[in-house]
Structure 1
């Protein structure tokens, strides 16, 4: 159960489809994540609608009967937003909006809206604005229809709120201007990275909400914003860290997610440059999440897309304090034992044995196993440093200083 703060949450419903490539279990997993995204954006999910369909309807994505069911529920329950788990075409979004007469969002639009909320620096806001404009450009017709109602809430932040008359030409000009601005900032950031000298660079990567910022705070004793919401961190934070007598640079990056919008991958190019230029990646995983293996695969896919698949990586399995395997009673002879019933020791002896010595198990929040983590990071950074500066010998201190 998600804890609600004393703010007004907008009523929303979620829609997913069961297809030949996406079974019911998978749909429910995606909708669980979509509900968390909705909560992060300021919405409260009142109902989920799931339809089994071979091919999405080209006009309304879901079938006519299911759409009528959704329409009746929206009217009777004061629903402000209907959110689809998959990306809608501009035509689908426009058609559905005319039928339901409320805000229609897809996963991409929802993620962009969260990014608009979370962007703190001018650079991050510029990146988000560019991604929003590129997403909105083909949807201008439908956009102006609901902006004329001057509604607020989910999906209404960012460009368009005060520019209802903006046409495609002006939007394209704005996109070109933002790209030019980002190119200039990219050059400045590249210069900054070059000015950091030859210190070893370590980057935290991983799925969103796995505890990267919490780990960053523990390691660097800095105050990086950390919260139990998706995409709590957008801006890359870089800190100089010293373990024992060895300094290195540690960066915290934006979290990845399944079905990450292509607009964001492109717009956040410089953020991902911190990953590209890192000497060592710390791939943080929330081992308490039931789908952590899929999260690993999603992150590895994006790392492959940006050319970092072969980079030296340590797998850091976080939140071991929250890992509670399912149990089976001794007299239960019907329940099939699956990985959901594995203890940490069983995971270490099976799936993780393939990783060899490149896996660590910690709790950043409770500071469990951090001595082992610190020693391993020190060893890896030292090996890189010695290779880079063969005449500058760093000796192991007898006792590493605690974080």
Structure 2
């Protein structure tokens, strides 16, 4: 005997459903578990119609945190989101200053037809990832662009540091950002200019204390162990995002595993001229065959960085371009490059860009400098996880100096550079399936 159909709540112009065999009926119920087009939905536009691009990510993240699902419409109006049209979602958008557009069933169907026939794709977003930021205790949010983005977008996160990384606590997080840490243990060579500064002395004391407490002979040895643990985190399925110094120095620490190079860092001195030949790049994530900077008067690490900001041969800033990927065949890089601008102004960091010839095979270039050969943004896979590197310190403070006033993101709510950061935050929420990268 056929089941009695539930009350039809669709469009008046649509046919009422007939009684169906149970297998077909069950399939219909499963379809209804997805956001029903006929009920209408809210579009969160991410093109220039959006009032606050950065808050829009937090809005989508918050909806996922409440147990709702959402959809990321890759390449549709600069990477818009589709969410359920319910009163709470409307109120939340109004409170956050996020632009939403009400869609009826016919509107949603039209959008889906357009996505099917063009270089676009729909990616379901299922669950808000648990976020951690690797940063020293007592650090200020404005010390780090990612932390500022999370704070402004109202995305919750937790701070962790060396003790948590080396314990089992790291497994509690889906996504991890690395603060602008020097994983070689040389304190970003700030001692060249700031040796007498209280903040640097405090940083040295804090690192030396934690190294002793965790049983390491010195800070470089501690940081090498932390780097190795971060690699394991990625290999086991973690999503790693790093900027500025953390990108280059993490790789150098990984390449120094099993060597005595770290010993030369212990007293704050640079490696000797022969150290580059000792590096073992099979353990690195993104780079290979780098040459270490051995001049003790230069606060640069290696020739990975294409701008060498603190050297006499510093390269001037220009712009960089995001590559356009097939949303259907390359959804991962497409997610990471969703933006309303394709050409962005560059910004300095201790590591600003990455020399293309230093990339490992298989690394995906997401954005490149106008002068070819300098990569700004890259992505790669290791085991079950991924890593993404973005060069530079602060997308809206191109020549950031120590002591500069913090960036007010409310003045940069349409920042294309900060959108790259927040693409990465939302990326782990995508429904896991076999993706081509």
TM over 0.5: no
Q: Which has the higher contact order (CA 8 A, sep 6+)?
A: 2
TM-score calculated relative to the size of structure 2: 0.25
